[in-house]
Each structure stands twice: as structure tokens, then as C-alpha cells.
Structure 1
Amino acid sequence: MPERSTKCFNLHEDWVVVILGFLVILFSLFLYIVPVPTFKWSGAADLFSKVLAPANMGIMFIQLFFFLCVGLVGTILLGKSPARFAIGFPIVFIITIIALILTGNAVVKSLNLEAVIFSLAIGLAIGNLFKLPQWFKDTLSTELFVKIGLVLLGTGVIFSDILKAGSLGLIQALVVVLSVWYFAFWLCKKLKVDEELTMMISSAVSICGVSAAIATSGAIKGDPKKLSYVISMVLITAIPMMIFMPYIASYLSLSQQVTGAWLGGSIDTTGAVVASGTLVGEEALKISTIVKFSQNVLLGIAAFAISIYWTYNSSSRASGTVEKPTLKVIWDRFPKFVLGFVAASLLFSFVFSADLIAPAKDSLKNLQNTWFTLAFTSIGLETNFKDLFKHDNKKPLYAFLLAQFFNILVTLLLAYLLFN
């Protein structure tokens, strides 16, 4: 399919998700409440009489149209091809609906398995068993879906919770980022990993995964192939962490607050933090997200510090090619969708009345969960396990895994001390 994109807009993705998130919120509050389909069933009779009933299928179609319209607006604002998105998104949505239907089964519910696991598993199966066309992969908007869901998550988080957990989360984030970053940096040096990979790995493990790796690569003008390798490691290692850490926390009898702080501080991708927190419970989801945001806040500061280090200490940089560290660098690296999350929380905590919020509450919650599930369908479709082993030198992989293990232990200790 030939490349055709809309060039009249080309906004940064974080601003786009803030715009889209608030369009969804305002639309739901003042214009139309998107109906919530039912996915609960216990047997074949229930499946066909409730979930696959014409009326319920009609609600699913309404949701498909709604998500498609929101996604098309985002695609246009990002300067991408709306035609490709219009063709590829319904496929992602159908896979997501299948995951939601599987999750709705009574037996699956009793096992506490969430839709994100099924959407991820189905996506991984399809993405690794079949060769997907590049144009279809280009339509997968994982970060867009996750961040819209996170803006909507702000509608269910009371601002006092952010102030309470955010202060503790910021303390945890400062200690984790400093200790884990230095340990990863030291380890990479010991293993003689090259400087660019060292900086990307240290930031990815200690701060916020993909976003930190991208910000660091931008600050040091890193090799895109090395960045791709680091992102592959982040995404693939996040999958087992996302699935198994909640069960480890349950085995250790950790509270939801401690578990959420542990997940939010150690899992590298925001989407995986959300999915993992969802497996534990509502309180763990809130704490994990807030703690993750506390780490995200440090991203701009970290990019500033890395820019200074690279400018004056890196022997491998080309003279005059590095972006000079300024306040603009901090602002450019700051994750803008965090502002959308906080703004949504402020509005729902102090501005909008309970009578206005109540009718749309369930719909907004459902839309939030569906955005997250769509994101993990996309992650599964675009992740290939073979990507991790294409790199000739395995030392960066060893450094990443050892640093990640150190990160898990340090964060668990801090989460227990601060949130117990």
C-alpha cells in the first residue's frame, strides 16, 4: 500500500493524547455516553444469548465506530495516514473484543485473569506465527492507546491520592533512579558495553523504559539501531514481569499499596505497569500508576543531566552535534500526558459535580480499560521474540537483565519501607 499521510498537522504524540483524552471526557460528559457492552458469560447458552446477542453486538459496533473516530483524529494530528489506520484498526479492535469475551468467562474470572493478558497472548501468537505486512505494523499505535487510557485513568483518581502517594512515590523514584542508574552504568562499563548502549540501558532500566530510552537517544543523538535493540529488550522483559510479579507479591502477602509501588517502580513500560496493577486490584492500579508518574516526572531532569554528561564527557560524540542542555530540553523531554492525567483528576476532584460525573462514570471506566487492552493487542502484534537475539554481542542483554534484577530488589525494599 503506498504511503499517504496528512501533512497539515504534525503534533507531538503526548500533546495529541491529551487532546484526544479530553475530547473523550467532554464528549462523554456533555454529548453522548458511549454504551458499555456485556462480556460476562458462563456457558455456550450465555455466550450466544448475552454476549453475541444482536443488541450487544450493536453496542460493540458503536464502540468500534467511536474508537475508530478518535483514532482517526489522532492519526491526522500526528501527520500519519488515516486511510491505513481505517483499514488496520478494525482488525486490532476485533482481536481485542475476542480477548474481552474470553476474559468475561466465569471460569477465567475466577482465575483473576485480565483481558490484557489475552489480548497480549493473541497478538503475540499472530505476530510471531504470521508475517504481518509493514503497512499494518505502521498502523499499530501502542503508545497512543496507552496514553489515552492513562489520561482517562485520571478521571477515577482523587487528587488527594496523588498528593499522598505521589510524595512517597517521588521519594522512591529518586532513590531508585539514582541507585539503579548508577548500578546499570557501572555494570555496562564492567562488561565493556559501548557508551551509547550504556546510556540507553541505564536510563531504560532506572527511569521509565521505552520513553527514557528514546529521550536518552535523542539527548545523545544515538544510533537508531541500538535504540531499537534496547526497546526490544524493554518490551520483551516487561511481559514476564507484568504477568509474574503480581503473583509473587501475592505469595509474599504484600498489601495492594506495597505491590502497586513495587510494580510502578520496577516495571519499565507504563502500559505493562497498568496491566500488572489491574491484575492486583483497583488500589494497586492507582498506586502503581501514580508511582510510575513520579518516575516519569524525573525524565526531563534525567535528559538534562544526560545531555550535560554527554556534552562534556563522552569521547565518542561528534563535535558540535549534540543538543545543548537548556530548560527547553527538560520541557521537550517531559511526558506531557502526565499533565492530562493530573488535569483530569483535578477536574473530577474539584470542578465537575457528582451529578454530572455519575452517569458517565461506568462508560469512562470501560473506555479506559478498552484503550489499555487495545494497546496490548498492538504490543503483541508488533513484538517478535527473535528481535532480542539478532544483536551479535550479548553483553548488553546480560547487563540489562542483571540491572533489571537489581532494580526489582531495590524497588521492593523501598516500596515495603515507604508504603507498608
Structure 2
Amino acid sequence: MSSTNLLNTSSTIHKLTIQEDWVVVLIGFLIIAITLFGFIVPVPVFGWKNVAELTTIVLSASNLTIIGLQFVFVACIAVLGALLTGKRIQIFLFAFPILYILTIVALIISGNGIVKSINLEAVIFSLTIGLLIGNLFSLPAWLSEALSTELFVKIGLVLLGTSVLFSDILKAGSLGLIQALIVVLSVWYFAFWVCKKFKVDDEMRMMISSAVSICGVSAAIATAGAIKGDSKKLSYVISIVLITAVPMMIFMPYIANHFHFPQTVTGAWLGGSIDTTGAVVASGTLVGEIALKISTIVKFSQNVLLGIAAFAISVYWTYTQHSENGNQEQKPTLKVIWERFPKFILGFIAASLLFSFFITPETTATVKDSLKNLQGLWFALAFTSIGLETNFKDLFQQNSRKPLYAFLIAQVFNIFITLGVAFLLFGSEH
């Protein structure tokens, strides 16, 4: 694995990680500033239903040109990040195009109509492609050295803040936020307790608790960044999240229809319990317009809590962790907490506040597609990197079943507690 993924092994790595977080905030806001000042990176088309559409639309000369322009922009940003974090630029320049091409392949696969219908996100394909290559072939040292998983993930998280808008919640009223608070707190603590009973390790326990209670993939990624978690464990948690979201997305609307739940209750149930925003929208659409609206509001409410949760988790993690020699540290001072605090979270919150209260809706509408596309691309690049540097046997080894069992139990609890809260808050709204 690359040095950025070795966690707390030396003071040198610790200093690099702190520096990298500030670099990520700088780069994230550089991308935002460039976009706001009018250089909007075109969004490539990856959607296709058959071979004819693949060749005439996705692989057309015009779309490949857009993909090429996107590469130039992202490569320049990535090289700046590599330079500021001390990587060898010559190696990075040679390796990054390979990483980008593999990621584009994953995005094209995820753009297939059948894949979209079951709501499998691009990151699962970028992870799979990386895993296949990394496990079937021996990676050259120069490629392994150039992988920058944490850098890519954290840039994506800062950009994610631009789409987490407090204004959506203010417009929606208080019920969605009340439900989000009740569900997130109760499900997080229950998941944490279950993971502890199953003796799941501390890092994965935090990731699972956040993923199942807040907003799935984004929450798992943010938590891993906040605690400087192992990327292999993160990829495992995200695989569970994406796989379990599919049957929930399909069957929960039918259950709601069978028992004649009001659309308001169904929407609140879907938005509060399904872990990915895309799956929430898909399942809400199956029920009806009112359910879609309520489910989206509730999911947005949970998404807004992500920055607050990441902040709280990072402080808790710093305050409770053991020293390297295994002895309990003295409780850290505010200075120590600040030194260890992952600064990218500040970038996420700042971006959210900027787009929630200071950028006009018209400007937001103009730039949101480009920023969302770039955010997804950085996440996909990160998971291609994770796949390349992860041993498949380590990812799905026999003793990894306990985290799976803990996740599933917590998800079942999530489904029932969210349904109860949905009836309590939204049952009289129909």
C-alpha cells in the first residue's frame, strides 16, 4: 500500500496526513472557485442502453473530447495535489492516465441502462476493476507509489459539501430534520452497540454505524477520513451498503403498497432507512410523487447531518484512542485535538455553508451538475485506487462475516425504528 494509507505508523506520516488535509481544502476550493468564475467543466455522457448508443453517444468523438478535457482539468489538479503532498511528479504523471482510463471504464459500465435500473453506483465498478487487476496481476512499484486514495477521497468530500444544502431543509420544514435526528442518533448507537457485541474492530465499527444511520457511502467515506481508517475496511463497508440498498429499494415500496401506508409515511420511511440517495429517489418514484418528495427531503436532512457527525466522530476518536504502545493516553488537550482533527471536514462544512447561504440559486443551478460530476469522478478514482492496492482475500476473508452480520442486524433495526418514527411524525400529514 502507498504511504498515505499507512495509518499512524510514524510521526512523519502523521505530519503528512495533516498537511494533506489542508492541501485537500485548498484544492477543493480551487475547483469551486474556478467553476464559480465561469470555467465549468463539461459533463460527459455515460448513459447507454444498447451497443448502438454506446458507440454513437458515449464513444462519439464529441463525448470523447469532453472526457479528454475533463482529464486535462482533473490531471492538473491531481498533479498539484501530488506536488504539495510530496509525491514524485514524474511517476505520478505516468500513472495517473492509467488510473483515469480504468475509472472511465467503470463509469461507462455503470451508465448501462440495466445497471442503472438496479441502482449500482460507479464506485462499486471502479472498486471491482481495481480488485481484479490488483489481484490477477502484480502491480509495478511505480504504479503503487502513485496511488493517492486519501487525496482523491477527501477532494470528493469537500466537493460533496456543495450539494448538501441547508436551504433544502429550511424550505422543507422541521419534520424531516426531526426524523433525521431521531433516526440517526438511535440507529448509530444501536449499530455501534451491535458491532461491539460482535467484537468488530473500532475502525469498522465507526464506519458501519455511520453508514447505516446517516447516508451510506458518503457517511462511510467521511468517517474513514475523520478517523484515518483503513481503506480496505472502507471498501468492505461500502460494498455491503451498495449491495443491501438494492433489495431494499425494490421491496420496500411494494411492502408499503401492500399494507396501504400513506405516501407521506412511505416517503419518510424510504428516505430514512435506505442508505444511498439514488436508491431513495428510485424507490420513491415507484410509490408516487408525494412519496418521492418526502423521501428526498428526509434523505437531504440526514445528509446535512454528515458534516456535524464527522466533526463529532473525529473529536471522539482522538479523545478515546490508545497510544501506539497500547497504554491509554492522557486525555488530549484542545491543542492536540486540533492537531489531529481532519481539516478536510472544515472544507466540507465551509462548502455546504457557501452554497447554502451565499451562492444564489441561479448560480448553483448553473454549476451543480459540473461539481457533482467532478465529485463523483474523484470518488471513483479513489475506489479504483483502493481496488488496485487491496488483496481480494483480505477484503472478504472468513472472519469478515461478523461486520456483515452486525450491519444487517443494524439495518433491520433501522427499517423498523424509521417506520415507527415516520408514522409518528408523518401519519397525520396525508
Class of the TM-score when normalised by the shorter of the 2 chains: 0.7 to 0.9
Question: Is 1:317 aligned to residue 326 of structure 2?
Answer: yes
Q: CA 1:134 to 1:171, structure 2 compared with 1: closer, same or farther past 3 Å?
A: farther
- Deviation digits for residues 69-117 of structure 1, max 9, x if unmatched? 1111122222223333222211111112222223334454445444333
SS in 1 for 2:406: helix
- Deviation digits for residues 256-296 of structure 1, max 9, x if unmatched? 654454355xxxxxxxx678778768938745543544432
| Farther-moved stretch of structure 1 (368-377 vs 382-391) | 382-391
Tell me, in whole angstroms, the C-alpha distance in 1 between the residues paired with 2:224 and 2:155.
Answer: 21
Match of 2:415 among 393, 412, 417: 412
Q: Which structure 2 segments of 5+ residues have no match?
A: 4-14, 211-218, 257-265, 285-294, 424-430
Report the counterpart of residue 15 of structure 1 in structure 2: 22
Shift of 1:399: 4.6
Question: Is 1:242 aligned to residue 245 of structure 2?
Answer: no
Question: Once the two structures are aligned, what percentage of the paired residues are identical?
Answer: 40
SS in 1 for 2:242: helix
- The residue type paired with residue 89 of structure 1 is F
- The residue type paired with residue 209 of structure 2 is S
Match of 2:195 among 181, 184, 201: 184
Question: Is 1:147 aligned to residue 147 of structure 2?
Answer: no
- Deviation digits for residues 353-408 of structure 1, max 9, x if unmatched? 344444333322222222232233223323322124779xx4xx455344333332
Match of 2:406 among 403, 406, 414: 403
Tell me, in whole angstroms, the C-alpha distance in 2 between the residues paired with 1:143 and 1:257.
Answer: 34
Question: Is 1:376 aligned to residue 383 of structure 2?
Answer: yes
Match of 1:262 among 250, 258, 273: 273
**8 Å Cα contact 1:17/1:148 also seen in 2:** yes
Match of 1:64 among 46, 71, 83: 71
SS in 2 for 1:12: helix
- The residue type paired with residue 72 of structure 1 is V
Q: Which structure 1 segments of 5+ residues have no match?
A: 189-196, 219-226, 265-272
Match of 2:90 among 76, 83, 100: 83
**8 Å Cα contact 1:11/1:78 also seen in 2:** no
Give the TM-score normalised by structure 2. Answer: 0.72
**8 Å Cα contact 1:15/1:336 also seen in 2:** yes
Report the counterpart of residue 45 of structure 2 in structure 1: 38
Q: CA 1:22 to 1:385, structure 2 compared with 1: closer, same or farther past 3 Å?
A: same
Match of 2:186 among 175, 185, 201: 175
Give the TM-score normalised by structure 1. Answer: 0.73
Count of residues in Structure 1 that have an aligned counterpart in Structure 2: 376
Tell me, in whole angstroms, the C-alpha distance in 1 between the residues paired with 2:169 and 2:39.
Answer: 29
Tell me, in whole angstroms, the C-alpha distance in 2 between the residues paired with 1:419 and 1:328.
Answer: 42
Tell me, in whole angstroms, the C-alpha distance in 2 between the residues paired with 1:279 and 1:147.
Answer: 27
Shift of 1:170: 4.5
SS in 1 for 2:310: helix
**8 Å Cα contact 2:134/2:389 also seen in 1:** yes
Tell me, in whole angstroms, the C-alpha distance in 2 between the residues paired with 1:120 and 1:245.
Answer: 17
Shift of 1:161: 3.8
SS in 2 for 1:119: helix
